[in-house]
Each structure stands twice: as C-alpha cells, then as structure tokens.
A and B are shown apart, each in its own frame.
Chain A
Amino acid sequence: DTEVTQTPKHLVMGMTNKKSLKCEQHMGHRAMYWYKQKAKKPPELMFVYSYEKLSINESVPSRFSPECPNSSLLNLHLHALQPEDSALYLCASSQVPQGGSPLHFGNGTRLTVT
C-alpha cells in the first residue's frame, strides 16, 4: 500500500476530451511532483510544486495543466491530448522541496488516449 493515492487507476480518453488526474497525500508533505512514464522507460519529471506553488515545469506542453489546491492535493488537468501522451502518470511527494528527503510515489494513473 502507498501513502500517496492516485485516482483514477486507469483512464481512457479521446483527443477532444477534458479530464483530470488526482493525487492526495496526508503525510504533511510540502512538495509534490508529477512524473510521466512511457512503457519500458524510466519516469520523467514534469512538474514540481513547493509549498503549493509551481516551482518547476520541465517544458511540458500546455495541454497538461497542473494545479495544487492545497498542501494535500495535486491535480493534473488534461485537454486535447495526443495518442503519444498515453503513459503512466505518477504523483510523488516529499517532506520538503530540498534537503534530500525521499520521494514517496503513488501507483500511478495509466492513461490511454484514443
């Protein structure tokens, strides 16, 4: 079991749909992360939130829009995605943004874009 909960576990969406991925943690962590993982590849960083503010955007296309409504929640809003955006989307959190504290990952949302 993981302390970072991601919903839904699976999502199929068309290219014209709008959907959202949700991530929740109740460990009091103040940094949260979105990663994208294609099949048989390592995870790649997309966004970092530090104290509910976006601190890093790894040049992610604007069809991916992150949101951090409060310190426990992280959303990823999806709009006009392409089939190549199909991947496992992983959320993670750490106690603070710096200092070396480990990341805790959820089990991801497997997204298929048709």
Chain B
Amino acid sequence: DAKTTQPPSMDCAEGRAANLPCNHSTISGNEYVYWYRQIHSQGPQYIIHGLKNNETNEMASLIITEDRKSSTLILPHATLRDTAVYYCIVRVARRGNMLTFGGGTRLMVKP
C-alpha cells in the first residue's frame, strides 16, 4: 500500500470548514484513499473513501487531485465534536480490508 503524509496537527475555528490534506504521491491506479477519524477514548470511525472522483456523504467531502497524488478531506462546518485524530489511508481494495494506520492529523476545533 502507498505511503501517506499528513501534517501532525491542525486547528480550525468552530463553524468554519476544516480542510485536512494528505499526500500520497506513490499511489497506484488501483489504490483507494480512505479516511477514518478517532475521537479520544473511542475506536476509529470510517468517514469516506474514493478512487478518482470527488466524493461526498453526510459527514464530509473528499477531493482527490487529478493526478491522484494528494487529497483533501473537508468537514464543511466543523464543530467541537469533530476534534479528533484523522487518518488518511491508501490501500488496494482487493487485497483485504485491513487497514495500516499512519500518524494521522490531530485536528483541534476551537470555539
């Protein structure tokens, strides 16, 4: 699976959009980009995933660049409850669903 690079920490004001970047410059054509988050004292929670096209669900939007070497997770209106560690993971779906977590980005949403 391709390696990912994320900033270790970010701050965001409550009510504003949180844009979390992820670099995956070695991604191959059949690798998906997954985002999970882990709120303190809880297990990781699936947010969204995509291959090439931008994706949106009730939690977030995923923007993948045309060359697929980077992506951005967007939380459109961050709340204090979005404070968490956000993990960007790149993997080949057919190889198995287990995840290899990197360091992630610690997002702090401030009032």
**Nearest Cβ on chain A to B91's Cβ, whole angstroms:** 8
Chain B contacts with A in 79-96, Cβ cutoff 8 A: 87, 91, 93-96
Q: Determine the distance from Cα of A92 to Cα of B101 in the docked complex, in whole angstroms.
A: 14
Contacts of A56 in B (CB 8 A): 96, 98
Given contacts A42-B102, A102-B34, contact A107 B42 (CB under 8 A): yes
Sort A-B residue pairs by CB-CB distance and give the 7 closest, nearest first: A100-B93, A105-B43, A42-B101, A102-B46, A94-B97, A107-B43, A105-B44
Given contacts A2-B43, A103-B46, A105-B43, contact A42 B97 (CB under 8 A): no
In the bound complex, do residue A42 and residue B87 qualify as a contact, i.e. CB atoms below 8 Å apart? yes
Q: Determine the distance from Cα of A108 to Cα of B46 in the docked complex, in whole angstroms.
A: 16
> Contact check: which of A31, A42, A98, A108 meets B93 at CB < 8 Å?
A98
In the bound complex, do residue A98 and residue B43 qualify as a contact, i.e. CB atoms below 8 Å apart? no
Interface residue ranges, B against A (CB under 8 Å): 32, 34, 36, 38, 41-46, 49, 87, 91, 93-104
Q: Determine the distance from Cα of A102 to Cα of B99 in the docked complex, in whole angstroms.
A: 9
- A sample of 5 inter-chain contacts (CB < 8 A) reads A42-B101, A98-B93, A100-B97, A103-B46, A106-B43
Q: Determine the distance from Cα of A90 to Cα of B42 in the docked complex, in whole angstroms.
A: 9
In the bound complex, do residue A102 and residue B49 qualify as a contact, i.e. CB atoms below 8 Å apart? yes
A74-113 interface bits toward B, Cβ cutoff 8 Å, 1 = contact, 0 = none:
0000000000000000101010111111111111100000
Q: Determine the distance from Cα of A92 to Cα of B36 in the docked complex, in whole angstroms.
A: 13
Q: Determine the distance from Cα of A94 to Cα of B49 in the docked complex, in whole angstroms.
A: 15
Q: Determine the distance from Cα of A66 to Cα of B4 in the docked complex, in whole angstroms.
A: 30
> Contact check: which of A42, A45, A99, A106 meets B98 at CB < 8 Å?
A45
